[in-house]
Amino acid sequence: MTSKASLPLMGTVKYKKESNFRKVLNDSLNVFLKDALRVTLKDPKQAYYFFQTVKWQRKAARVRSKLEREDIHIPPIMIFSITNRCNLHCKGCYHLALNRSSRPEMSVNKIQSIITEAKELGISFMVIAGGEPLVRKEFLDITRDFPEIIFLVFTNGMLIDDDLIVKLKGQRNFIPVISLEGWQEDTDGRRGEGVYEHLQRIIEKLKGIGLFWSVSLTVTRSNFTTIVDQQFIKFLIDLGCKLFFFVEYTPLKEGTEDWVITDDQRTNLLTLRDSFRSKYSALFIAVPGDEDEIGGCLSAGRGFIHVSAEGDIEPCPFIPYSDTNLVDLPLKDALQSEFLKTIRQNHEQLSETDGGCALWVERDWVRSLLQKK
């Protein structure tokens, strides 16, 4: 069985103007879920969960559409960095490069309250990040209470232990997205000696319980050939991986500019992504390449929003600028920020870059919007 789409065949429904963009985005998310259902048919429990999720996602889309008619814009996706702490010190880490605030992280109760608000507003996908999100193991007690929301938890995987795996057995909506850089040499070279071997043991355990798990592959100029090698992709599929994120490296850390993939590599990445979709029973997503296929940068609430560990509402994890904080405002009000609205209304400014993260390229313009306030 082969997977024909994933989050795009989004390329087959390219938007023509901003007015129909939301429909295209909702359609693309439905494609993703239907593909997820298809690639998990051999696991009836997981397949049934994705079948239920398609219905929940449609309901959430109706909630967002109703609010849109009231001129209240709600994105379908929230990226939530629940902590700044991490157990590793990876080379080129974007989070370390941003020099995050020393303000206290939000409490578990506050995080749960925000997710409750998000569900009521029709936000139906949560991308959980950090730091290392599994530093806060109590977060699994929150995700358990929201089966309607898919939690894609981007993790270095080193804190996944037997106790956590027991909890994960009953949470089909919790999808660990494990970070790899390629084979052992590339992974240990960036993340630390012994990381690759440890992750192989963890992945075997995840495979053993039949958990739907994913992988995040940071694509750099030097590891490109390894990351897209069919032997490497097939190796991960044989271990049970059903969802692949190819994430282009963004050079936030000084001295890593030559890590960025070339234009030829970027074009080749999308070609190979399409080839993998037609060949393997798995889902393949390229970031930011897939965004380009449905109308460009999805930041600032156009398709997703970022919430920092301190509660700041930001356009994107790579752009830590904000004029609102969830400690002071309900989520519904914070999402109507003038700062975010201005970025969305000037989206054409983010459509004129030469590839890679458009918001990072235009960061000086974004920063200037706050200075004008």
Walk me through the domains of the chain, giving residue ranges and CATH numbers. Answer: 10-371 (3.20.20.70)
Q: How far is CA 238 from the centre of its chain?
A: 23
Per-residue confidence (pLDDT) for residue 95, from 0 to 100: 76
Burial 303-316 (b: 16+ CB within 10 A, else e): bbbbbbbbbbbbbb
Tokens of 315: 């356009």
Per-residue confidence (pLDDT) for residue 170, from 0 to 100: 85
For residues 290 and 29, give the distance between their C-alpha atoms in angstroms, rounded to a whole number: 12
| Cross-strand bridge partners of residue 306 | 79, 314
For residues 182 and 196, give the distance between their C-alpha atoms in angstroms, rounded to a whole number: 9
Number of helical H runs and strand E runs in the chain: 16, 9
For residues 243 and 237, give the distance between their C-alpha atoms in angstroms, rounded to a whole number: 9
| Listed residue (171, 108, 124) closest to 145, CA to CA | 171
Tokens of 99: 């020099």
Per-residue confidence (pLDDT) for residue 13, from 0 to 100: 39
Q: pLDDT under 70 in the chain at which residues?
A: 1-20, 99-101, 352-355, 373
SS3 261: coil
Per-residue confidence (pLDDT) for residue 291, from 0 to 100: 82
Tokens of 71: 């001129």
The total of other beta-carbon atoms located within 10 Å of residue 224's CB is 20
Per-state percent for the chain, helix, strand, coil, to nearest 5: 45, 15, 40
The total of other beta-carbon atoms located within 10 Å of residue 12's CB is 11
Per-residue confidence (pLDDT) for residue 357, from 0 to 100: 81
Per-residue confidence (pLDDT) for residue 269, from 0 to 100: 96
Strand 304-307 and strand 313-314: pairing?
antiparallel
For residues 170 and 161, give the distance between their C-alpha atoms in angstroms, rounded to a whole number: 15
For residues 337 and 209, give the distance between their C-alpha atoms in angstroms, rounded to a whole number: 43
Per-residue confidence (pLDDT) for residue 359, from 0 to 100: 84
The total of other beta-carbon atoms located within 10 Å of residue 262's CB is 11
Per-residue confidence (pLDDT) for residue 1, from 0 to 100: 39
> Is the pTM above the cut of 0.85?
yes
CB 83 within 8 A of CB 138: no
312-359 pLDDT tens trace? 999 999 888 999 999 989 999 999 999 999 999 888 787 755 667 888
For residues 126 and 78, give the distance between their C-alpha atoms in angstroms, rounded to a whole number: 5
Per-residue confidence (pLDDT) for residue 11, from 0 to 100: 36
CB 307 within 8 A of CB 79: yes
